[in-house]
Copies of this chain bind each other. A is one copy, B any other.
Amino acid sequence: MNSHVKSELIFDKSRNGRRAFAQAPNAVKASKIPSKLMRNDKPRLPEVSEPQTVRHFTRLSQLNFSIDTQFYPLGSCTMKHNPRACNALALLPEFAGRHPLGPISHGQGFMSCMFELQEMLKDVTGMKGVSLTPMAGAQGELAGVAMIKAYHEARGDHERTEIICPDAAHGTNPATAMMCGCQVVEVPTGPEGDIDFDALKLAVGPKTAGIMLTNPSTLGVFERRIKDVADLIHGAGGLLYYDGANLNAILGKVRPGDMDFDVIHMNLHKTFSTPHGGGGPGSGAVGVNDRLLPFMPIPIVGSKQVEGKTLYDWLSEDDLPQSIGRLSGFMGNAGVLLRAYVYMRMLGCDGMKRVSEFATLNANYLSSKLQEAGFELAFPARRASHEFIVTLKHEARSLNLTAMDFAKALLDKNYHAPTTYFPLLVPECLLIEPTETESKETLDNFVTAMIEIATAAKKGVEFKDAPYTMPVRRLDDVKAARQLDLAYQPE
């Protein structure tokens, strides 16, 4: 793109009576709907031609950074290569055209994939049951906590309404607990990034429904006392929830089930490389151990033998009367599930392991190089998992170079910024996740860019006004929130 070219809105291209004529049928006779139910205003949709539309959105796309064009080390987000085949195969006409309520006689192909995906995810997580229906990580969390609650309720344990979350937890964890009608009990992190075990002991009690953890944590380190944590929580009658956003770190190496977690959601759009699409769709499939099997959200694909053949069908309320119910209109983000399925089949069992191995290798290499270059790691004594944290608290103080400035300066170097200001407990932090699909050269070049920025800052260069080379300069977020302009008003 040419960053100096102003981006018009599609509405600016609109003219009365213009349209992409090939894309709609010709008008048919007027409808038989009573006029009082009809609309009598004209919604201002853009009236544009097909060439204009293609050009407009093609050019808009060019304004984005993306995995297909830039290194995008956004921590916790697992921005790895999205193989194109996964998309093409999920969109095979029979799959793309399949009505979700079509009979199972016309769905055995799709359903067999879903069944096998369930089986593979069980294996990968060490769980006993998997439901694919949650539509993103957060909805998977909701399913998980709802199951935990249902479990306690089913045992008559009505007082268990507290969910423990480490202070490093992703925002969706406490938000989910709230949505499930629970109270959040926050526990602090110890100096080396593990959970503060003493504080945890104090937090646990008869009201404990469960704990939400991710391991390795959002701090990029493995929770070493995980077994102790599990024993503590289980001992107190609570259950353990695994936030699977970080599964990329341990895929094929360690399984949440083996760590004694009771329930897990997976972000298939992270670990299993379905595209992030500029903000979704995701998929937050959940896995559970025996305890929670009866509570899984429906639908689930079941299989039975009929006349010597495997027949796949939908498990519903009748099969799982204790289910927490349905979370989506049909079957979750089915097409995302297909993409994940294809990806897993392309990786195979050995490929799974390599994911976590090389993701970890890249993170440790990058953290070593950055440390060597003078950047401060938040947990220098620890092994990085698939991600790690750099803190710029010194730079912020001595050079007035905040994490935000650094992030914007990186954009000008053609790198997407790492995650900034998360986890909240580390000051001026950059959470860096290179993923396994990036090459050593890319990491080396990124280190060079980091060093260049730091060096320039030391020489007095200010980055308050960065970025300079993007389609827009630094945006006024405060104004955005104060003077709300959320929809274009066509004059």
- Residues of A at under 8 Å CB distance from B? 1-5, 13, 15, 18, 22, 49-52, 54-55, 58-59, 62, 67-70, 80-81, 83-85, 346, 414, 437-439, 441, 469
Neighbouring B residues of A59 by C-beta, 8 Å: 69
Given contacts A15-B439, A62-B62, 9 further A-B contacts (CB under 8 A): A1-B62, A1-B69, A2-B414, A5-B414, A22-B83, A51-B437, A51-B438, A52-B439, A55-B70
Closest to A53 in B: B81
Q: Is the CB of A49 within 8 A of B437?
A: yes
Q: Is the CB of A68 within 8 A of B84?
A: no
Neighbouring B residues of A438 by C-beta, 8 Å: 51
Q: What copy number does this chain have within its complex?
A: 2
Cα-based distance from A11 to B55 in the complex (angstroms): 32
Q: Is the CB of A62 within 8 A of B69?
A: yes
Neighbouring B residues of A50 by C-beta, 8 Å: 81, 83
Neighbouring B residues of A80 by C-beta, 8 Å: 51
User: What is the CB-to-nearest-CB distance from A15 to chain B, in angstroms, rounded to a whole number?
Assistant: 8
Q: Is the CB of A58 within 8 A of B69?
A: yes
Cα-based distance from A226 to B233 in the complex (angstroms): 94
Our pick among B49, B55, B346, B439 for the contact of A69 (Cβ within 8 Å) is B55
Q: Is the CB of B51 within 8 A of A81?
A: yes
Q: Is the CB of A469 within 8 A of B68?
A: no
Neighbouring B residues of A49 by C-beta, 8 Å: 437, 439
Cα-based distance from A80 to B50 in the complex (angstroms): 12
Neighbouring B residues of A51 by C-beta, 8 Å: 67, 80-81, 437-438
Q: List 23 A-B contacts (CB under 8 A).
A: A2-B3, A2-B414, A3-B3, A4-B469, A5-B414, A13-B441, A15-B439, A22-B83, A22-B85, A22-B346, A49-B437, A50-B81, A51-B80, A51-B81, A52-B439, A54-B68, A54-B84, A55-B69, A55-B70, A58-B68, A58-B69, A62-B62, A62-B69
